[in-house]
Structure 1
Amino acid sequence: MFSYCNDPSILEGFNWLSCYLTTPKHMNFYFSFGTVLLLLAITAPTALLFGFGGAMAARAHNTALSWFGKAYIAVVRGVPDIAFFLFFVIALDQGIEWLMHHAVCSDWDEPIRRGNDFVVCPQAKVPLSSASQWAHKSYGFALAVVTFAIVFGAFAANILFGAMRAVPRAQIETAEAYGMTHRQAFWRVLVPQMWVFALPGLSNLWMVLIKATPLLFLLGIEDIVYWAREMGGAKTAKFTGYPHSDWRMWYFLTLLGFYLAFTRISEIALDQLMKRLAHGQATAAGEAQRRANT
């Protein structure tokens, strides 16, 4: 990046450090922080959508739909996250390629399963072998988002299901007595009030989601953990350009600072949101606000 970085072997002190911290690999390291934030920005609302759908299904009057919602909550929550991440990503990837294979290669007469190998026709590979590196990375990221959303959606569904049940039934009955349909009472009375009951649990889930982002490393995505380990390891050969001892501790301390700062910012934002949702509500938080204002 700097003109004096052409020959790292003659650099010392600040000049060496400034060149070292602006190498292409470090730029990938800095960019990986954006990858983590993008994952959170997409996964959080998607998981909330999965959770809301699961909670609605669990409380449905239809028996089959109710069992489906409750099974989704129980099964996904009961499987260790790491096992689900390692299994589901492979299963989802192979499922997509299996569907593509039967759609575009109907004349294929060889078995797809060959022992431990899963072989589809070249046209069914997702993405195609000729696709750009960006397409491969985007596809892997999309699989990660779906997996995160399904896992944390199950936890969100359990929280929202409990929050829906926490809203006094008498309020729903009063709304229906005033002429609202069951659907109107659900959207106009139940849903607006359930968030104040759900937010404490959703806040904890958000913190867990933040701490779970290093699982991207297990999914083959070059996230901040990958680059911290890659660049922090000892570099002794001269051809590396910037040889150094084992600095992984410093890189992981950087990650520690990032996660602590991000969780603290999240706590402040969630506290403000809780105050806003609790305003005027017949809850302990709402009563505390009322007393503080009198």
Structure 2
Amino acid sequence: MFAYCADPKSLEGLSWLSCYLTTGTHLSFYASFLTVLVLLAVTAPIALGFGFGGAMAARSGAAPLRWLGKGYMAMVRGVPDIVFFLFFVIALDQGIEWLIHQARCPGWTDPIRNGLEFRVCPQAKMPPNSAPQIVHQIYGFALAVVTFALVFGAFAANVLSGAMKAVPRAQIETAESYGMTPRQVFRRILVPQMWIYALPGLSNLWLVLIKATPLLFLLGVQDIVYWARELGGSKTSTYAYPHPDWRLWYFLGLLVFYLLMTALSERLLARLERRLSRGQATASGEAQRREGGQTA
């Protein structure tokens, strides 16, 4: 990074540290923080979409849809996250390759499964072996996003289903008495009202999602945990920047990062809860009405 970093062995003190912290591997470490933030930004709305779909399916009058929604919530919530992550990523990857194999290699005669091995034709490999490394990384990241969204979508579905049931029945009946159709009642009354009841559960789910991002390391994505372990481990004199075991300090940095993320999230969620509580028949909404009356 700097001109004086050409010969690391001649460096000492702050010069050595400045060169050490700006190596290519450290730049990858800093970029991995962006990977975590992108995962959160992409996964959260997708998981919420899965959750809303699952909650709607669980409330459906059609028995197959209702069974599907309730089965999705029960199955995913009943399996430990780490087990589901490790299983589903492999299953999804092999499922995609199997479908491509059937389309591109209809004349393939060798068995796809040979004992514990899974073999498809070269044209069905995803991504192709000749693809650039960035394509492999994006593909692995996409699999991780789908897996995270499915897992946390099941929990979101349970939260949203409970929030829909918490909306006062009197409001639904009042809307129906005004001649609203079931679709209008759902869109104008039920959905706007349910968010204040769902927010506490969704807030907890968001914080759990933040804490679950280190599982990217288990899914083969080079995240902050991967780089903290790699960079913090003991480096001998064969390395350009030898140092003792510094994993304690690297993981301490991750601890601070996650605490800051949690603190910022709690502040934003508190503001969102206050905004959604306006005019609602909840304790928070009543407190705001009293506060407004005293101010007036």
TM-score (norm 2): 0.98
Question: Offset of 1:114 from its aligned partner?
Answer: 0.5
Determine if the alignment matches structure 1 residue 162 to structure 2 residue 153: no
Aligned to 2:265: 266
Question: Offset of 1:63 from its aligned partner?
Answer: 1.3
Aligned to 2:62: 62
Q: How does 1:109-120 map to 2 (within 5 A)?
A: 109-120=109-120
Q: What are the superposed Cα offsets for residues 36-93 of structure 1, whole Å, 9 maximum, x if unpaired?
A: 0000000000000000000000011111111110110011000000000000000000
Distance (whole Å) between structure 2 residues aligned to residue 121 and residue 284 of structure 1 = 62
Determine if the alignment matches structure 1 residue 48 to structure 2 residue 48: yes
Aligned to 2:30: 30
Determine if the alignment matches structure 1 residue 290 to structure 2 residue 286: no
Query: Please, what is the CA RMSD of the aligned residues?
Result: 0.6
TM-score (norm 1): 0.99
Question: Offset of 1:237 from its aligned partner?
Answer: 2.6
Distance (whole Å) between structure 2 residues aligned to residue 292 and residue 244 of structure 1 = 58
Q: How does 1:124-273 map to 2 (within 5 A)?
A: 124-238=124-238, 240-273=239-272
Aligned to 1:102: 102
Question: Offset of 1:109 from its aligned partner?
Answer: 0.7
Instruction: List alignment gaps of at least 5 residues for structure 2.
Output: none
2:281 match: secondary structure = coil
Distance (whole Å) between structure 2 residues aligned to residue 173 and residue 69 of structure 1 = 26
Distance (whole Å) between structure 1 residues aligned to residue 237 and residue 290 of structure 2 = 68
1:236 match: secondary structure = coil
Instruction: List alignment gaps of at least 5 residues for structure 1.
Output: none
Question: Offset of 1:172 from its aligned partner?
Answer: 1.3
1:109 match: secondary structure = coil
Equivalent residue pairs, number: 293
Question: Offset of 1:28 from its aligned partner?
Answer: 0.2
Aligned to 1:11: 11
Distance (whole Å) between structure 2 residues aligned to residue 137 and residue 280 of structure 1 = 47
Q: What are the superposed Cα offsets for residues 147-177 of structure 1, whole Å, 9 maximum, x if unpaired?
A: 0000000000000000000001221121121
User: Structure 1 residue runs of 4+, over 3 Å off?
Assistant: none
Distance (whole Å) between structure 1 residues aligned to residue 287 and residue 77 of structure 2 = 34
Identity over the aligned pairs, expressed in percent? 71
Distance (whole Å) between structure 2 residues aligned to residue 111 and residue 284 of structure 1 = 63
Aligned to 2:278: 279
